[in-house]
Structure 1
Amino acid sequence: MQATTFAVVITSYNYRDFVLEAVESALSQTRKAAQVIVVDDGSTDGSDILLRERYGADERVTLISSVNGGQLSAFQHGVNAARADVVSFLDSDDCWGPEYLARLGELYDVRADIDFVFSDLQLFDQQNRVMRFHDRAVDLGYTAISTYVLTQWYGAPTSALSMRMSWALQVLDLPGSFQRTWRLSADNCLVFGCSVLGAHKYYLPTGCVRYRIHGKNGWWSNQSPRIEYVNKMTSSALIRHYAARVGMGPECIEFTKLEFMTKPQPPWSETKRYARLVMMRRISPWRKWERALNILRRGWRLRG
């Protein structure tokens, strides 16, 4: 069995105070990455100069400087330079514990069917708590219908996301106009895109991702009703774009039970979500309840 290779893509904009810590955390992994790619997205705070002084002669690090185009553009530059089996993304204000890639590798090495893995996060700096999808590892199977109908987000912020290279290339193959929309929160493109296009997803709590909360967080520090509204509208449009690429439409809800069957041990929250989806089908009320109860019974038997 050949070991999975990893490319780390670090995107940075005006995070001079944090970026070296992020890069060092990627270089200090017990399971070494084949590439560590740092994309400076037109920083004006001297980040680019600092990176070149520190890593310009370091063969382990690939430095890319670009005109400021936003996070989606930086993702695209980084992935286009990657040559590995799996891409792991890291924001330049976050960092990883040394076992992160090792934990991911243990899964990717033995599960060729897994396309996309996301982890829990330890918040630090201005907050101290854990963000998690569930309290155990979860094989989520396929999530296209739940994402398309409910705009369900099966993922985590950027620094806890990884996917096989073929999927990174697929989801980042977007029209140039999308770069303006996704200057921030472009992890939505990774998360929604992989779900709708049909990636097999897995949640793996590693305890290794440190997510910094500070005054300059693009998404975290700009939450408001207006921002939430705009994000939901743009996310809906993004999902429709990916759905159009694979010919997905409202009729996909007819296959809700089949999608649920791809989840070997669904959390109870996921079971209830799919029962809700069945209740949205255009069939008689009696059949809705019958099929929803079938999903609930199956989920109860399989719950972890």
Structure 2
Amino acid sequence: MTRFAVIITNYNYARFVIEAVDGVLAQGRRAAQILVVDDGSTDGSQALLTEHYGHHPGVRLLFGENGGQLAAFQRGVAAVDADVDVVCFLDADDRWQPDYLEKIGAIYDQRKDVGFVLSDIDLFGNEEGRIGFAEKELDLGYTAISTYALTYWYGAPTSALSLRLRYARLCMDLPPQVGATWRISADNCLVFGASIFGARKYFLPTGQVGYRIHGNNGWWAQQNRTTTFLGLLQSRGLIGHYARAAGMDDSCLELAKLEYRTKPEPDWAEARRYIGLCWRARLPWWKRLERILSIVRSPKRKK
């Protein structure tokens, strides 16, 4: 059975963090490890956590100087036991319902080929609603080439992400000059890195992840043309770093048709992405056309 480690990262969320930790402790399927990483909070979080969990056998507290979300992720992943299979991440201002680990655990138990599971999120607090990658459960297959060439984001916010430990370690192996850019948006490192390093991805709408909206923390509220451009530019740099570590270059475009075939039920938007990738491959035009036609004629594509 899949063994889970849960990394809860906290920075000045004393008013929320106990609810987050208690939600993990209340899971119907227990985590093998619960690691609470406090990133140098100054609001009394550390004293509060020590009071509640300092002697709790199922919770390990990791305190350190403020270094940002990525540094907290790195400290947490470094502390995960070697016999753990999957690492889950939870922001201290979010919460899980009791069946979250049971639901994603069923996928990891049954599908040893799946390396990364993302869930939908339910907004609560100052806003309500649901955000999900798709309308229903979906095997996304492999996504390395699409991510590499298109900067496509096969992901979700931090609290709805989980991945096998080997991928988490690869994603967190970043030099300081790269990591500095992702100090406070480390979920991008997990999403992009897992794709490039070859994790098969799966979207599972669990209805179990609560994403708290408070202040101005909704990422959609912060987007404009400048931030969109800079975000994509920085994402290209991050993906480029991971690609070099994985030994990927533009020759991977020749494999786009094969990556597409790993997706059991791709929609037309996904098909269009891979048609474009096939056309960009460094192959004779007739070979590129042949691969494009194989995608267009694919019987498994959803209408």
User: Shorter chain as normaliser: what TM range?
Assistant: over 0.9
Identity %: 53
Secondary structure of the structure 2 residue equivalent to 1:178: helix
Matched with 1:50 is: 48
Extract unaligned runs of 5+ from structure 2. none
Extract unaligned runs of 5+ from structure 1. none
- Tell me: CA distance 1:76–1:13, structure 2 relative to 1, closer, same or farther (3 Å): same
Deviation at 1:238, TM superposition (A): 0.5
Matched with 2:273 is: 273
Read off the aligned partner of 2:32 and give its amino acid letter.
A
Read off the aligned partner of 1:203 and give its amino acid letter.
F
Per-residue CA shift, 1:152-206, capped at 9, x if unaligned?
A: 0111110000011111111111112333211111111101001011111111111
Q: Which of residues 38, 41, 44 is equivalent to 2:39? A: 41
Alignment of 1:202-221 (within 5 A): 202-217=202-217, 219=219
Matched with 1:159 is: 159
Matched with 1:303 is: 302
Taking the aligned partners of 1:21 and 1:167, their CA distance within structure 2 comes to 28
**TM-score, normalised via structure 2 length:** 0.94
**In 2, are the aligned partners of 1:214 and 1:221 still within 8 Å (CA)?**
no
Matched with 2:7 is: 9
Larger CA deviation: 279-288 vs 237-246: 279-288
Read off the aligned partner of 2:93 and give its amino acid letter.
D
- Please say if 1:64 is aligned against 2:72: no
Per-residue CA shift, 1:14-50, capped at 9, x if unaligned?
A: 1111111111111110001111110000111111111
- Cα RMSD over matched residues? 1.7
Larger CA deviation: 196-205 vs 213-222: 213-222
Alignment size in residue pairs: 301
Read off the aligned partner of 1:47 and give its amino acid letter.
S
- Tell me: CA distance 1:181–1:260, structure 2 relative to 1, closer, same or farther (3 Å): same
**In 2, are the aligned partners of 1:70 and 1:179 still within 8 Å (CA)?**
no
**In 1, are the aligned partners of 2:120 and 2:209 still within 8 Å (CA)?**
yes
Taking the aligned partners of 2:238 and 2:100, their CA distance within structure 1 comes to 30
Taking the aligned partners of 2:16 and 2:300, their CA distance within structure 1 comes to 46
Read off the aligned partner of 1:208 and give its amino acid letter.
Q
Deviation at 1:246, TM superposition (A): 1.8
**TM-score, normalised via structure 1 length:** 0.94
